[in-house]
Structure 1
């Protein structure tokens, strides 16, 4: 069922505390979720960035159903991969601050838990990709994706932005990440 993983380079790196640029000619997808208890709603946000740390695409989507954090994180990875692919970006690195979600996607055994079907869907998407590295990062290394998810919750709007349409606050967060990573 997930035998295609045997031939792929899947790795879970140590959990960095600050954002770092991907290798030259690689794209990195950072995803995260936010939750609003009052609305009982989750949202996910993500950003595709190049080897200079520059964002190429930013997005956010609302997940209205009450679900678990791990399920929301898996839906963020799934949604992020789909949005990146729809916009013709093939990412080589995916980062999330949910260790459980990263482990669910990279697990070689069949997952019969409540999140197993979503993890299987993500693995199906990966079947069409080249080598992918999954990285568990600390929240401090995922601030841009988290801010995008929080923006969806508080604005009640969904979006996909390209570099010409990024709001000022997003550019400022990206620049802070880049300066800290140097």
Structure 2
């Protein structure tokens, strides 16, 4: 689980975000994998949640970390999760694993849609467009695709790193 320091930091980031973005929300959602010009976190529509996910891989380390944060349509922190995993990997593998973990974790959400956001364009494209020739990562991509097909309430989208900053910082804890 996330430490109190991480929760406090996330709450501070959300408060700062609210102050900086004191304007009405657009009802439009980004649902494709094309990069947008938006560099700020966008609210989901009322009743839905956003689950931002990111991986942190440090060169020379024999481990990597996954960070996830769920927020509601008002930008309020709902829950967070940090996972440290063993292994020396390329960046794509932990990013895909983070999406898979986010999809699995999202099954605990009982109401509304869950928009899962990642700043890994390659991972989001692999899951959305069905790239199956990623060698050892093919099973992970297939798992994510199966999870999305099995639950219509889940959606995955690409966001710029700036819009995924809270998950990025949680992953670096």
Fold shared by both chains (TM-score > 0.5): yes
2:142 to 91, 98, 120: 120
Match of 2:18 in 1: none
Tell me the SS of whatever aligns to 1:37.
coil
Map 1:29-48; keep pairs closer than 5 Å. 29-48=51-70
Q: Give me the TM-score of the superposition, normalised by structure 2.
A: 0.73
- Hey, which bits of structure 1, 4+ residues long, moved more than 6 A? none
**Counterpart Cα distance in 2 of 1:30 and 1:112:** 26
Distance 1:13 1:120 in 2: 21
What is the Cα deviation at residue 131 of structure 1?
A: 4.6
Separation of aligned partners in 1, 2:132 and 2:171 = 27
Following the alignment from structure 1 to structure 2, what is the Cα–Cα distance between the partners of residues 97 and 47? 14
Pairing partner for 1:138 from 143, 146, 160:
160
Q: Does 1:149 align with 2:171?
A: yes
Corresponding residue of 1:63 = 85
Larger CA deviation: 133-142 vs 99-108? 133-142
**How large is the Cα RMSD of the aligned pairs?**
2.0
TM-score, length-scaled by structure 1 = 0.70
SS state of the match for residue 63, structure 1?
A: strand
Contiguous gaps of at least 5 residues in structure 2: 1-30
Q: Tell me the SS of whatever aligns to 2:125.
A: helix
> Is 1:74 equivalent to 2:96 in the alignment?
yes
Does residue 11 (structure 1) correspond to residue 11 (structure 2)? The answer is no
Instruction: Give the number of equivalent residue pairs.
Output: 141
Higher relative contact order (CA 8 A, sep 6+): 1
Q: Distance in 2 between matches of 1:81 and 1:133?
A: 9
Tell me the residue number matched to 1:101. Answer: 123
Taking structure 1 as reference, are residues 73 and 91 closer, same or farther at Cα in structure 2, changes over 3 Å only? farther
Stretches of structure 1 that go unaligned for 5 or more consecutive residues are 1-9, 152-182
Shift of 1:97: 0.6
Indicate if the aligned counterparts of 1:22 and 1:93 stay in contact, CA closer than 8 A.
yes
CA contact (8 A) 2:148 2:155 kept: no
